[in-house]
Chains A and B, each alone.
Chain A
Amino acid sequence: MMDEKLLDDFPIDWEEDSFVSRREFFKFMTLASGGLTAGSLGLVAWSQMSRDERHFEPMHIARLEDISPGTSLAFTYPRKSDLCILVRQSDGTVSAFSRRCTHLSCPVDYQPEKDRLYCPCHNGAFSVKDGKVLQGPPPHPLPQILIEDRGGELWAVGVKRSEDTE
């Protein structure tokens, strides 16, 4: 009785319907399994590609003499949306890093008194020498911006990802 009413309300045209048997479904799932295997092999190929150091179009950043020791300069490289920070340490050494904290992408600031790059969002800190994590939740070092001194002019030429601290 109930079935008849249900069929009246929701009629099914069995001849127009198509079934997928369990065996066909099994075949489809095995195909998906093959696809995931191919994807995993693709990831292996990707992991073998050198991503540690990439060179981009060189970009002029600043004149060395314009940046006094113990100060920093914000710039973008290689794209306009890639925030970076150039630091001239007290001993005169120049280094540059991506400004995005590797935890949740907050911008880091240079703290000359502690000689470190500090993320105020979650108290993360990075070394100004190599970008390694000094404290806090960041899982990876800051990517380093490769800088060249061309006769007193500082040029950014590439980006280098450091090894994990873990």
Chain B
Amino acid sequence: MRPNDLIRRQRGTVIVALLLFNLVLILLQLWLFVSVLEGLIGGRSEMALPAAIASIALFGVNFWMLRGITRMRKG
């Protein structure tokens, strides 16, 4: 196997791993969103701000991974 093929395969594995992690984070965001919405409908609002901060952090991680993948492509 040539070194280039090996690197390509490794990149493919890394991208799939990041994609799966991305999916997990989005599911977590979705869960947070629905929980807060249910709470607000039920008259409880104390979870809204912490959940939004967590959601921003998760989006930051997702965006950071996307940047990494874009750089990987260029590199």
> A residues touching B (Cβ–Cβ < 8 Å)?
22-23, 25-27, 29-30, 32-34, 36-37, 39-41, 43-44, 46-48, 51, 139-140, 161, 164
Q: Which size bracket describes the interface of B in this complex? A: 20 to 34
How many A-B residue contacts, CB cutoff 8 Å? Answer: 88
Is B43 within 8 A of A36, CB to CB?
Answer: no
> B residues touching A (Cβ–Cβ < 8 Å)?
15-16, 18-19, 22-23, 25-26, 29-30, 32-33, 36-37, 40, 42-45, 48-49, 51-52, 55-56, 58-59, 62-63, 65-66, 69-70, 73
Is A40 within 8 A of B32, CB to CB?
Answer: yes
Main SS of the interface on chain A?
Answer: helix
Interchain residue pairs with CB less than 8 A apart (5): A23-B69, A23-B73, A26-B22, A26-B66, A43-B37
CB contact under 8 A between A27 and B15, given known A33-B26, A36-B29: no
Is B23 within 8 A of A47, CB to CB?
Answer: no
CB contact under 8 A between A164 and B15, given known A33-B25, A36-B33, A40-B52: no
